[in-house]
Amino acid sequence: MKAAVVDRAGAVPRFQDFPDPEVGEGQVLVTVEAVAVENVDRAIVAGTHYTSAPFQAALPAIPCFDGIGRLPDGTVVGFGGVTPPYGTLAQYAAVPATHTAPIPEGIGAPIAAALSSAISAMSMRTAGGLSSGETVLVQGATGVAGRLAVQIARLLGAGRIVATGRDEEALRQLSALGADAVINTAVDDAELVQAFRDHAGDGYDVVIDYLWGRPTELLTRALIPGSFAMPERTRLVQIGESAGPAISLTGDALRTSGLEIYGAARNLASGMAAAYQQVVDWLRSGELAIDVTTMPLSEIESAWTRTDLRGTRLVIVPD
């Protein structure tokens, strides 16, 4: 079969022949229809993600670990459960039958492949406990997931939405998606801390954070009160680390600010089904839109290295 193949850590996948997967007991053969390429996939290929060891040990290997495909009976499913060196950027994948689920009617394969970006934004409710009327800060709102988070915050009834990013043109577009205010993080530290304070109003109730690193470290400084007044809770939901893998967190940022930090997986097991169905309903009604850019598997080298996608999810489809 044809596949995208990585032969060393950090390499760009190449379109080439690869042995067909063998279908074992309890497995099904899936013909791949669409695969979203996300930051986690690039990190696994680079060897920097905490789950990357099995992939790196199996090189040469096929990247990506889930996708949308068609079963032999024609049923379109979401699937996962591949085992390195096999991944999903290929014509076929052999996966456990238990790791497949039908795709809801009315959702095309490329959009279905990118659903996880919208599901992650639902963690502002499942992990952060967002209630109607509360203020949401979206850290990293100019990327694919961040733009969806702005839309979803509005759909969930947020009273005020503040969005951050480095791209001034992309920030200007966010008001049409529901942002009430934007903060450009490409400024010096003191100016960014002040911007966080200026836009906080009565406080940020939920922060959905795709950045971590410097912007989040400065946010924690901005949350430190200037008096002994006890502020309201700020529930920060940590999802991504596109601005850096670590922050320096001072004691007073926790002791006096009301800051609470949660991982995006908090309450996910109990809330995933409802979050998924809500996103599907919004997509069907047209209230939510996921922007995707599709490219054929044969062009994986140029697709993998694109830097011009500007808020759309790259989805690889068959030739």
pLDDT in tens, 5-64: 999 999 999 999 999 999 999 999 999 999 999 989 999 999 999 899 999 999 999 999
DSSP string, 38-70: -HHHHHHHHT-STT-HHHHHT-SB---S-EEEE
Asked: is 118-268 a CATH 3.90.180.10 domain? The reply is yes
Tell me how far CA of residue 31 lies from CA of 20, 80, 86, 158, 316, in angstroms.
12, 13, 14, 40, 13
Q: In angstroms, rounded to a whole number, what is the distance separating the alpha carbons of residues 293 and 298?
A: 15
Classify the C-alpha dihedral 203-205-210-211 as positive or negative.
positive
Largest CA distance in the chain: 66
Identity of the residue numbered 84: P
- Return residue ranges of the chain for CATH 3.90.180.10: 2-114+290-317, 118-268
**What's the CATH fold of domain 2-114+290-317?**
Quinone Oxidoreductase; Chain A, domain 1 (3.90.180)
CA geometry: angle at 289 spanning 311 and 3, to 5°?
A: 60
pTM of this structure: 0.89
Q: In angstroms, rounded to a whole number, what is the distance separating the alpha carbons of residues 129 and 121?
A: 12
pLDDT tens digits, 193-229: 999 999 999 899 999 999 999 999 999 999 998 776 6
